[in-house]
Amino acid sequence: MIQRLYIKEYLSFDEVALEFRKGLVVFTGPSGAGKSLLMRSLLALLGFETPQANLSEIVVDMDLDLEDFGFLADEEIVVKALKKEKARFFLNNQTISKKALQALFGPKVAYLNQKDFSFFSSENVLKMIDDWLDEEHRSLLVEYEEKFKEFEQKQKTLQELHEKERKSLELREFLEFEIAKIEQVDPKVGEYEELMEIKKKLSQKEKISQSIQEAQGIFEFEGKVAEALALMGEDSAFFDEAMNELREIFYAQEQKLQELEIVDVEEILDRIEKLSALKRRYGSIEEALRVKEEKKRELAALQNLSVDKEALERELEALQESLMQLAINISQRRKEGVKKLLEKINEYLMQLKLPKASIKFEKKDLSSQGIDVVQVQLDGVSFKEISSGEYNRLRLAFLAASKSGQAGVLILDEIDANISGEESMAVAKILKELAKRYQIFAISHQAQLASVADQHFLVSKKEKKSSVTELKDHKRVEEIARIISGEKITQEAKEFAKKMLKEAH
């Protein structure tokens, strides 16, 4: 329920602070006093409208899925709206968007205005019918819903396969081209580095060869060094070993240089260029080889496309047949179950001085709700073609007959407008019954609804300033008498107002 509403600086209202209780909350007062402004502020804080007050706030006590929206669960929930250049919303002092607010409160708050035809949408009415049926029916609905989701997913996959098949020729050519480009080079891991080392040696070949030739002059003095060591009485073994090791190093290097003589330099450079091109395109030789394998897998998948598509089409055909059988079963149950719902609705319509309603079934293609589409009619006339007063009462009868049983808040926009006193009393009685399940906020210009309210607020305006007062005792009698007789309140109107209040309570 909504426990408190606070508004500051909103057109004719300087400041409003209201405390609400459970049940039926009714606002009355002269036209233009600001009743609709209060209701719009309430709706704005629930995400249904844009706030116009500089500051507005509500405190609510509801079982909301706060964690799904990134908020911690709290005993008291406070929603605040600030409006300067633009509106900003806060939930428990954390920012929240208008869209998120509506999504958060949507399952708990119903707003029924004069122009809202969505209440009688096929989807909404089918849900109402389903709620009237047994547990077995609900199990069938769950089974159907799961299978339909699977059906939709498979349809999506099939569409993707068809699209791939349409593009497969072009894609196949592209994949084959990409694979061929890499296979033509046939790179090996580490090959590029080896070739770069050979290139480096080739560039140094002449210098190394010349340097070895010049350095070999050292061997001409080998005998003299040995002779000098002998004269000194030193062992020349270390020198002999060093000179032999040097000869081996020079010999080994000359062998490598001879091997380089037979290397095709142009071929090496060409190979390096091809490998470099792959490295530039793919980042590395390893990545080029990985891409090649990936493209091969994609190509194999394309080649199996027809097989996959045919298998999926068979699965879809079997699933569609199963869904159709379920949908037919659900439809038959609905057509049987709607009789009890209509019986209850028409009981309320009789109280509301309206003819009987009917729900017309038509068949359509499979959808998330089966094969049914329904239309509500009043005495054979579509709900869209009846008067606003008849529409309001018809909607009220459906709402009262609904078995959703979901406690929450119901906000009504002049539900008793354009109807007679007798009809208004019937509306008031049904709203009083609904108030056992909902906290109801309603604007009324009729004494009947005001008399049965659990809370009655007067919205008045004086010197261009609006105010709101909760009415009790004789003040409430005076306001109901004003509604009955006009601004000049008669004693007879007061007595009738007292009688209405006594009968209501």
Task: Please check the confidence at residue 129 and state whether its pLDDT lies above 90.
Answer: yes
- Which helix (H) or strand (E) is 123 found in, with range? helix 122-132
Strands of 370-378's sheet, edge to edge?
A: 357-367, 370-378, 381-382
**Residue 221 pLDDT exceeds 90:** no
User: Is the predicted pLDDT of residue 405 greater than 60, yes or no?
Assistant: no
What are the tens digits of pLDDT across the range 132-170? 999 999 999 999 999 999 999 999 999 888 887 777 777
Query: Is 393 a residue whose pLDDT tops 90?
Result: no
DSSP secondary structure string, 124-193? Answer: HHHHHHHHHS-HHHHHHHHHHHHHHHHHHHHHHHHHHHHHHHHHHHHHHHHHHHHHHHHHHH---TTHHH
Count how many domains the chain has. Answer: 1
Q: Does a structural domain hold residue 48? A: no
pLDDT > 90: what percent of the chain? 49
Convert the pLDDT of each residue in 89-117 to its tens digit.
Answer: 999 989 999 999 999 998 888 887 766 77
Indicate whether 30 belongs to any domain: no
CB 28 within 8 A of CB 458: yes
Position 411 in a domain: no
356 located within any domain: no
The answer to whether residue 70 is domain-embedded is no
Indicate whether 5 belongs to any domain. Answer: no
Q: Residues 197-209: pLDDT tens digits? A: 777 777 777 687 7
Q: Which domain holds residue 153?
A: 149-307
**Model confidence band, residue 389 (pLDDT cutoffs 50, 70, 90):** confident
Q: pTM of this prediction?
A: 0.66
How much is the pLDDT for 115?
64
Domain membership of residue 191 (yes or no) is yes
CA distance 98 to 47: 5
Distance (Å) of CA 15 to CA 52, 81, 411: 13, 14, 22
Is residue 332 in a domain? no
